[in-house]
Structures are given as structure tokens and as C-alpha cells.
Structure 1
Amino acid sequence: MTQSTPLQLIDSFNRRIDYVRLSVTDRCDFRCTYCMAEEMTFLPRSKVLSLEEIARIARVFVQLGVAKLRVTGGEPLVRRDVTTLFQELGSLRSEDGLKELAVTTNGSQLVRFAPALRAAGVTTLNVSLDTLDAARFRALTRTGTLEDVIAGIDAAREQDFPRIRINAVVLRGSNEGDIRPLLDFALNRGLDIAFIEEMPLGQVNLAGKPLEYLPSDTILSEVKQHYNLNSEATPEHSGPARYWRVDGSSSRMGLISPHSNNFCASCNRLRVTAEGQLLLCLGNEHSISLRDLLRDGASDFELSSAIVAALNDKPEQHVFDQPDQPQIMRFMNASGG
């Protein structure tokens, strides 16, 4: 491959990659039961990409045709000086370049950071919120306070982000009763909401405890008992959610179904972890180290070439066939949200 060769992010299954999730930290101020163990050992600082390294990787991806970047963690807003990164990423937005700059957050820091995120050019916020019951919220997050997250969501609404979405992981036997209250919460505030099936990453469950995911069709059936829904086409550069418009509202309800409605055939995503691993699939271990390339002095073209070559190893699909014994041992916070 020569430097004049046009590089394209198309994998061996002819899927075009136009969406990259960039993790800036594996640390978080919550310890959500489906994401982390209660006691965690985090990466040493020397192994974590610098903000400058993350910005460079982002520029390379945008040059390769990526139209959407999502900043994740852990909790991205606990990373020191992270607003400087958002300013760098915001500068990549253009009509023929980056079109969407998104953040996934637990909402705990939004009262403080929402104005800076909007000023930097963030277009989309996804805020994790699994229950509106304060005691259940504390149990699920182990350390979080519901009032702080709701205050953060309302602070973000005041900043006029083009899109804010609530992300709710629904666990059988835990927060099933929150489906309708969470949907009402989103509708009353003019927000979108996505209900997500639990993913079997890391040893977050007690030994022998079955996966607690609730099938999306069960959620959809319950919602249809109370609301009229109209199926809607998936937005351009979107993630794996299937969307319905709620009659009489500007809000949309989405379902993300890694178990019951496999979305791998239309996968358009890559992940970069906080330590610089390019994950080709959330549910597989195929990866290359972008950090090693950067720190070995690779040029932008060499970095681009390595990314394009790695796509040959992107698997056709993830396989979650043995939910009681996770096949992927990294926790969700280490995978990049």
C-alpha cells in the first residue's frame, strides 16, 4: 500500500465504518453492577492514552471518513482537563468531515460540564439512567445519587443540545418496573430513550448467577400496552438502536438488543479503549494497539494503514451463546462504554 492509495474503512464483509467510540478513561465515580466489580484495579496513568494521542487518533479516523465520534469511559467527565479534548474534537466538525460529536456519561458531572461541552461542539449526549427510585439507583450504581443525575440532565437540557438520550439497561428481577416511569420521564422532558439488554462482559455477576437481561420484545410489548408507537428508520451514522416514534411526542424510544435481535450485519462501529486498543468488535477480542504505534513514532499514514489492515480481522458477528459464563473477560468500563 503506497501513500497515494486511497484508504477506506470497509471490512471484509463490505461494512463501511463511519462511527468510532473513543474511551478517555476506565475510571468512573459509579460502580454499576453490570459494568464493574465493586473493587476495581484501574490502569496506571502510563498505559492510558494522553489527550493529545486521543485527539490525533480522532483526526486520523475523520480523515478516513468517520462521520461520528463518541467519547466514552468509564465516566469521561472524570478525566482531568477533558474539556480541552472536546474543543479539539469539536474543531473537526465540518460539512465534509465529522458531523456528530457525542458523549456517553452517567450524568453525575453534567451540572458542571454541560455548558463547556455544548460550547466545544458536542451535538449528542447519552445519559445512563436505569431507575427513578433513589434506593434502587444507589443499589445499581453502588455509589451514585439519583438527584445529581437528574439535576445534570436538566442542566444539559438548558444548553440546547440537538439531541439528548437516556440509556437504560433493564435487568430481569431488578428494574423491570422502571420501564414505564423512565419512558414518561423522557417524554415529559422531550428526550429520547433507549432500553438496552445486559451484555455478558466481565465477571460482574456472582459465580453461577445467570445473566439478568430482559428481551427487548418483552419491553416493546409492555410499552405498546400504554403508548402508540410508529417504527422509524435508523438515523444516519447511528449505533445499534432500533427506533419508534411515540405518538403525540417529539421523543423516540429505542431498543438495543445484542442478544435477541443481533445487529451485527449492519455494524458500522469501532472502539478505541483508554489504553489505545482498537477493538474491532465489542463481543470479541480481536484488536491492535494504536498506542504502541503512536509511541513507536508511526506517521499518520502508517497509523491509517494499520487501521485499514486491521479491518480484515473484524469478525462477522459477536456470539453471546453462553450467558452464564462470559466469553469476554474485560469489564464494560474497560471496553469503552
Structure 2
Amino acid sequence: MLIDTYGRIGTDLRVSLTDRCNLRCTYCMPEEGLAWLAKPELLTDDEIVRLIRIAVTDLGITEVRFTGGEPLLRPGLVGIVARCAALTPRPKLSLTTNGIGLARTAAALRDAGLDRVNVSLDTLRPRLFKKLTRRDRHHDVLAGLAAVREAGLAPVKINAVLMRGLNDDEAPDLLTWALEHGYHLRFIEQMPLDPQHGWQREQMVSAAEILERLSARFTLTPEEAGRRGSAPAERWLVDGGPVAVGVIASVTRPFCRTCDRTRLTADGQVRTCLFAREETDLRASLRSGASDQLIAELWRTATRGKKAGSGLDDPSFLQPQRPMSAIGG
């Protein structure tokens, strides 16, 4: 299994399928985009499936989340999902997406074996969406959400990032809307993973602020202790339940002690933490003919080097060289 020196066991694999995206969210990348990975640098579909197979059959991975960039831009996505769903033991398969393109792919992804979808949506206001993402695609995201729900890929989770002076007043409206549509809403503290390195802690809308704003309209009760496990979101029952709202407070309430995640970038690098500055190259070993056993051992060795925490509270903290779009959520 993937066990680090602090006794944490990796069972959740996040796989970035591409660093490209069809939005230009202000907190994620500049308007002109980034220098994308060249096609020869990307893992092929076969290489991705082989690494996931090794992770599942040899290393104890039980959950696989496909991310990006925007994973729906990966031409072979449906086939990758189908091949991973055929693995034994079968991992749980989910997708994190901006929702654009889901209207035409939700049914195919369900039929391929996808279990669940997370969709990023920061605002209910089309004009603000266009300002935040630099694209007029709000209607496409809503259509994608409707398609996912119709396809039965439940529960449908919504991820929202609040930004001071822009959409930080929308927290109660977002939760009201999510409750009306049967979506599970999670707010995420904005993290220092932008390529511009413009993130400032004092400008971040904290978990405490989010809960304060929600409490102006709803009664929030902390979920029963012990139910969180290794999940990144703290959850509060809304008006007595059974529905809950989550807050992922990576900055102000880090959950590193229970982290069970390992990450694979689109170019075949293992990352043990979202904020890691070190990577282990599996692509080179794949392409040089390494055995499954050798690749598994490289992955185990990388995991043993996993640090105790993200280091966000350390005065010497430095952002990782890769931005979020090149790491995967």
C-alpha cells in the first residue's frame, strides 16, 4: 500500500488528464492562458490506464478522481473511464469539471461507469460568471448540471470559491439554489495556487466568514464528530438536516493529518501533496520499459517522503511551481 512515515495510507488517487481549460478563471490563470504541455509530454490513454491499474491492483487505491485542467477536453475520457471501471477490484470513479460539455457527455460517462461528478460554479449571476471566467458560458454549466442529474450521477456536488468584493455576498443564495435543485454544495477557501502568485491571505474569504454569512439565513449544526474521516470538507447540517453544506478550509483549518490522497499529473508526475514542490517522474520509467513492480515501488518511495503538512503556516512557505490547472484538484 501507499503508506507514509506518519502512518497515513493513500487510497484516493487524483488523476489530471490535461492542463488545458476552456475557462480563464481570474484566480486560476491569466486571460491569455498558460504555456500548455506539448502532446508528447502528456501521458497516453494506455499509460494513464496502466498507472491507474497499478495503483488499484498493487497499491490499494480505492477511489479515482479525474481532474484537469478541464478533463472533458481529453478526447479519450469516456474510454479511460470505461477501462478503469473494468478493473478488479473496481475503484470508485468520479470527475471534477467546470461543467461545460457535460450536457453532451453525461450519459456516455454514466454508461462507461462513472459514479459521480463535482462541478465548479462560483456564482449564479451570468454577468459575474463572465467576469470571473472571462467566458460567457454560465448557461452551459447549468445545462451540464441538469444533464448530470438526469443521468443519475448522484450525488452531484457543487464546488464554489468565494472572492472578496466579487461574489462573497452570494453564499446564502448559492446554498438556497443548491437545496432547491438537490445539489450538494461545498465552499472552498481560495488557495495559493495561481500562476500569477497574486494570492494574499488577508484577501481570502475564510471558512469562518463563510459560515457567518450562511448563518444569517440558515441554522447550521456541526455534523456528528467522527463522520468526516479523511474527507476534505467539514460539514454542517442545514436547518436540522438531513442536507448538509461543506466547507473545505485548506488554509485556515488544514486537514493534513488525515490526508489519504496521492496525485498524478497529466505528464506522469506523482505529487504527494497539492502544495508539494517535489515530484516523482513515472512517465520516464513507463517509457523506458519498467515493470509494474518497479513503478509501484517508485510510487511507494515517493509516498514515504510525504511531508507532515502543507506548510501554509510556515513563514518560509513557497507556492509550488505548477499552478492548480497543471496539478489537478
Range of TM-score over shorter length: over 0.9
CA contact 2:85–2:91 (8 Å) conserved in 1:
no
CA contact 2:68–2:328 (8 Å) conserved in 1:
yes
Structure 2: which 5+ runs fail to align? none
The residue aligned with 2:324 is 332
What is the Cα deviation at residue 315 of structure 1? 0.8
* Partner deviation per Cα, 1:7-31 (whole Å, 9 max, x = no partner): x211110001110100000001111
237 and 105 in structure 1: CA distance in 2 versus 1, 3 angstrom threshold? farther
The residue aligned with 2:18 is 25
The residue aligned with 1:230 is 221
Out of 156, 165, 170, the residue aligned to residue 157 of structure 2 is: 165
Out of 39, 45, 57, the residue aligned to residue 45 of structure 1 is: 39
275 and 239 in structure 1: CA distance in 2 versus 1, 3 angstrom threshold? farther
The residue aligned with 1:5 is none
The residue aligned with 2:191 is 199
Query: TM-score w.r.t. structure 2 length?
Result: 0.93
CA contact 1:130–1:167 (8 Å) conserved in 2:
yes
305 and 209 in structure 1: CA distance in 2 versus 1, 3 angstrom threshold? closer
Aligned length: 326
What is the Cα deviation at residue 232 of structure 1? 2.6
The residue aligned with 2:52 is 58
CA contact 1:73–1:336 (8 Å) conserved in 2:
yes
CA contact 1:21–1:270 (8 Å) conserved in 2:
yes
What is the Cα deviation at residue 35 of structure 1? 1.4
* Partner deviation per Cα, 1:68-105 (whole Å, 9 max, x = no partner): 1000000000111211101111213x6xx344211000
What is the Cα deviation at residue 322 of structure 1? 7.7
Instruction: Give, as a single letter, the amino acid of the residue that structure 2 aligns with 1:38.
Output: E
Query: TM-score w.r.t. structure 1 length?
Result: 0.91
1:244-255 alignment runs, 5 A limit: 244-247=236-239, 250-255=242-247
What is the Cα deviation at residue 121 of structure 1? 1.5
* Partner deviation per Cα, 1:29-67 (whole Å, 9 max, x = no partner): 111111112221100000000111111111111111111
Q: Secondary structure at the match of 1:311?
A: helix
- Report the RMSD for the aligned CA atoms in angstroms: 2.2
Q: Judge which range, 77-86 or 246-255, deviates more.
A: 246-255
1:65-104 alignment runs, 5 A limit: 65-92=60-87, 97-104=89-96
Out of 104, 107, 118, the residue aligned to residue 112 of structure 1 is: 104
19 and 235 in structure 1: CA distance in 2 versus 1, 3 angstrom threshold? farther
Check if 1:288 corresponds to 2:283: no
Q: In structure 2, what is the Cα distance between the partners aligned to 1:120 and 1:232?
A: 34
CA contact 1:190–1:249 (8 Å) conserved in 2:
no
Q: In structure 2, what is the Cα distance between the partners aligned to 1:328 and 1:286?
A: 8
Q: In structure 2, what is the Cα distance between the partners aligned to 1:121 and 1:245?
A: 30
Instruction: Give, as a single letter, the amino acid of the residue that structure 2 aligns with 1:276.
Output: G
What is the Cα deviation at residue 127 of structure 1? 0.1
Out of 153, 169, 179, the residue aligned to residue 187 of structure 1 is: 179
Q: Secondary structure at the match of 1:158?
A: helix
Q: In structure 2, what is the Cα distance between the partners aligned to 1:195 and 1:250?
A: 18
Instruction: Give, as a single letter, the amino acid of the residue that structure 2 aligns with 1:188.
Output: E
Q: In structure 2, what is the Cα distance between the partners aligned to 1:318 and 1:268?
A: 13
What is the Cα deviation at residue 172 of structure 1? 1.5
Check if 1:215 corresponds to 2:206: yes
Q: Judge which range, 300-309 or 250-259, deviates more.
A: 250-259
Q: Percent identity?
A: 39
What is the Cα deviation at residue 230 of structure 1? 3.2
Instruction: Give, as a single letter, the amino acid of the residue that structure 2 aligns with 1:331.
Output: P
* Partner deviation per Cα, 1:179-214 (whole Å, 9 max, x = no partner): 1111111101111111001111133355x9766321
CA contact 1:286–1:313 (8 Å) conserved in 2:
no
Q: In structure 2, what is the Cα distance between the partners aligned to 1:86 and 1:115?
A: 13
CA contact 2:230–2:258 (8 Å) conserved in 1:
no
CA contact 2:189–2:248 (8 Å) conserved in 1:
yes
Structure 1: which 5+ runs fail to align? 1-7
The residue aligned with 1:122 is 114
Q: In structure 1, what is the Cα distance between the partners aligned to 2:55 and 2:43?
A: 16
Q: Secondary structure at the match of 2:169?
A: helix
Instruction: Give, as a single letter, the amino acid of the residue that structure 2 aligns with 1:44.
Output: A
Q: Secondary structure at the match of 1:136?
A: helix
211 and 111 in structure 1: CA distance in 2 versus 1, 3 angstrom threshold? farther
